[in-house]
Amino acid sequence: MTLVGRPNAGKSTLLNALIGEHLSIVTPKAQTTWQRVTGILTVEADQLIFLDTPGLLEARDLMQRAMLGAALEALAEADIVLLVVDTTRSPSTKDGARILAALDQARAPQRVALNKVDIASEPSIHAWEDWVDTHLGCPRFRISAEVGTGVDDLLAALRVDLPPGPFLYPEDEIASDPVRFFVAELVRETIFEQFQQEIPYSVFCQVEEYREAQDPVYIQMNIYFERDSQKGMLIGKKGAAIRALGEASRAKIEHFLGRSVYLDLWVKPLKAWRKNRAHLSQLGFRLPAEDETEKR
């Protein structure tokens, strides 16, 4: 089941609400989900596999093309497509066209989660309901992923829609991605919370070493930056910024793992990594085919 929508629609918050765990990072800033995240929920005789995807955006560089490609690939694989929309913003022609173009990639049944109804105006919610009825003609659900309104009803409906099939994962698993992935994402989430301007969108976190046999668990994390000026911002005066980042990130990771952690943060340059195929591949992004704009 693939969750899709425009940036900041609340897909990651909804995934976390459905699974009952903090799997996808969530911040007030848009475009925080860069790679798809798989969440697994087993309820009685049903197993639901949710794919949280990057927001449907206008791709302006190689990294954004990779993000959009991840979303469209997940759409093509879906048994059910769950479109998540932000009802605090009325549907625009431009946003609607981008959504419809993406949904054209899917052959699966579609459902719509009208999110953020706890803070949206009734006219805006009604505008989205009319848009769904006109353009998609599929079931729609009023929800607030943030406070939980309507999430149980949405889940119940999704369980009814599930195609028959065997469990693909053990009943106690909640994710298919490795622990290293989630640990790195928690550090990246903290960067989004603690830094402003270009820093959150210009750095990437990757686990270099993970020793779970030790107590505390030893984790060496590389934080890659694009430009020399960003190194000083990440470290801060007398190392204050990197210490604050480490303390907050470690607390999150310890909560996630249920164990004590020694978090060793290394700040390293990786020049223009968002536009470099080799760098993006090294960081785990699945890349689209090379086009003419890259060759010039």
pLDDT single digits (tens) 4-25: 999 999 999 999 999 999 999 9
Say how many C-beta atoms besides its own lie within 10 A of residue 29's C-beta. 13
Average pLDDT of the segment spanning 234-257 = 97
What is the secondary structure of 230-247 as a DSSP string?
Answer: HHHHHH-GGGHHHHHHHH
Q: Where do the domains of the chain lie, and which CATH numbers do they carry?
A: 2-161 (3.40.50.300), 179-295 (3.30.300.20)
Q: What is the pLDDT of residues 200-233, one digit of tens each?
A: 999 999 999 999 999 999 999 999 999 999 999 9
Rounded to 5 degrees, what are φ and ψ at 219? -130, 120
Average pLDDT of the segment spanning 273-291 = 88
Percent of the chain predicted with pLDDT > 90? 89
Residue 291: band (very low, low, confident or very high) from pLDDT cuts 50, 70, 90: low
Q: What is the pLDDT of residues 145-154, one digit of tens each?
A: 999 999 999 9
Average pLDDT of the segment spanning 73-98 = 94
Helix (H) or strand (E) holding 40: strand 37-43
The reported pLDDT for the residue numbered 294 is 56
Do residues 78 and 50 lie in contact, with contact meaning Cβ atoms separated by under 8 Å? Answer: no
The reported pLDDT for the residue numbered 293 is 52
The reported pLDDT for the residue numbered 58 is 85
> What whole-number distance in Å separates Cα of residue 276 and Cα of residue 119?
40
> What whole-number distance in Å separates Cα of residue 94 and Cα of residue 251?
41
Lowest-pLDDT choice from 63-72, 264-273, 287-296: 287-296
Residue 248 has pLDDT above 70, yes or no: yes
Residue 197 has pLDDT above 90, yes or no: no
Query: Which residue, 101, 102, 41, 51, is CA-closest to 80?
Result: 51
Do residues 91 and 124 lie in contact, with contact meaning Cβ atoms separated by under 8 Å? Answer: no
